[in-house]
Structure 1
Amino acid sequence: MSRKEPRLYFPHDLKQGVSLALSHDQTHYLMNVMRLGSGDHVRLFCDEHGEWRAKLDVQGKKKAGVVVLDHLRAPQTRPFLGLAFTPLRPHRLSFLVEKAVELGVSDLFPVLTKYTAVRHVNEDKLRAAAIEAAEQCERLDVPTLHPLQDLGQFCGNLTPSQHLYFCHERQEGGLLWDHAGSPPKFPLILVGPEGGFDAQEVTFLKGLPGVTSVSLGQGILRAETAALAALSLFHGAPRA
């Protein structure tokens, strides 16, 4: 049985017959991790040009390039599905991003709230986690990672077309499940920290237009569990 061709996110101008250089990390991955050699096939993809098959061209122990061969898949427009989340410890946050990418998220919004314990994010590591997840799950795009904002800034940047589902652990009734069957065109999910939202934050969010306070069911979920439970309800659902 033939081996599955490795995929690389390659946001460059992909055209048949073009020769492209690989980065040091890409070269190491293909040659030392995947044990590929000259002539072996890989797949390159990006949002703008879709997916292409390419042939590896080894030029030395630590240097390689690819020659683009044929077009496999045309680019696709992914429906908007936003996730706003508070920073977590690095390994948990990488897990959250990885699974969110698999579940079709288009935009990632790290947000600071009063009870957020981790007050920063490593954008390079999060972006790398998102790219790796897209490579593994055969997406043709990588989600947009937005800059870290406080809750007020985040809400101030919402557009009239976006609808925010505020996942509130103390919300009585109003399950997110009730809204997921036919979501709006631009749904955005907000999940808070493990300490929950401050009372003033809850009042602030509930007073905003275009915001619906929802429950994820009985019990208190870990932050990453809540985010993925919410995303899974919207994954693949038809849009209004």
Structure 2
Amino acid sequence: FSLIKSSKLDYLIQKCTEIGVKSFVPVISQKSVAKNLNIKRTEKIIKESCEQSNQLILPVIHEVEKLEKKLKSFDKNSIIFFADINSSNNKIEAVHENNKNHEFYLLVGPEGDFSLKERDLLNSMSNCIPISLGQNILRSETAAVVGLTLLNSQIN
């Protein structure tokens, strides 16, 4: 996820943890308002959310990096779905039996979405798949919950 304002970020962390996310990969994109992450606060929210949802394993929080750098660090076999308001693809078709052993990631942009340069970069990568989360423009924190729910419905 792209870093967003802290109050909205708290909601994103809480709900995505409750849904069952395995890790959080915070990135700084060109339109990110926030530039850092309060790790202690995030860990506290994760712990409380895991307790509330009866999860034994806490999600991992990765180090904050710029989007371009982070994208280069992903395993080439990973599949990265990214929420794209310009996409008409509303099916997460890459998740099927042959891909169940791959790592899946959901990338949600900041307020104002990804820049054109970032979308071009994402679209140029063979393991990045643009997906639509519907006709409405969603807040970043809502998009994360909706996208993760769609992804989970295909994996589980």
TM-score normalised over the length of structure 2: 0.91
Alignment of 1:180-219 (within 5 A): 182=96, 184=99, 185-219=102-136
Determine if the alignment matches structure 1 residue 149 to structure 2 residue 60: no
Partner of 1:78: none
Gaps of 5+ in 2: none
Partner of 1:233: 150
Gaps of 5+ in 1: 1-84
- Over alpha carbons, which structure has the higher Rg? 1
Identity of aligned residues (%): 27
CA RMSD of aligned residues (A): 1.7
Partner of 1:174: 89
Given that 2:31 and 2:112 are in contact with CA atoms closer than 8 Å, whether structure 1 keeps it comes out as: yes
* 3-state SS in 2 of match to 1:235: helix
Aligned residues: 153
Determine if the alignment matches structure 1 residue 130 to structure 2 residue 51: no
Partner of 1:223: 140
Equivalent residue in structure 2 for 1:94, among 10, 14, 17: 10
**1:159-187 deviation per Cα after TM superposition (whole angstroms, max 9, x unaligned):** 0221001111122x111x34376373311
**1:6-39 deviation per Cα after TM superposition (whole angstroms, max 9, x unaligned):** xxxxxxxxxxxxxxxxxxxxxxxxxxxxxxxxxx
Cα distance in 1, alignment partners of residues 153 and 115 from structure 2: 32
Bigger strand share = 1
Cα distance in 2, alignment partners of residues 156 and 238 from structure 1: 24
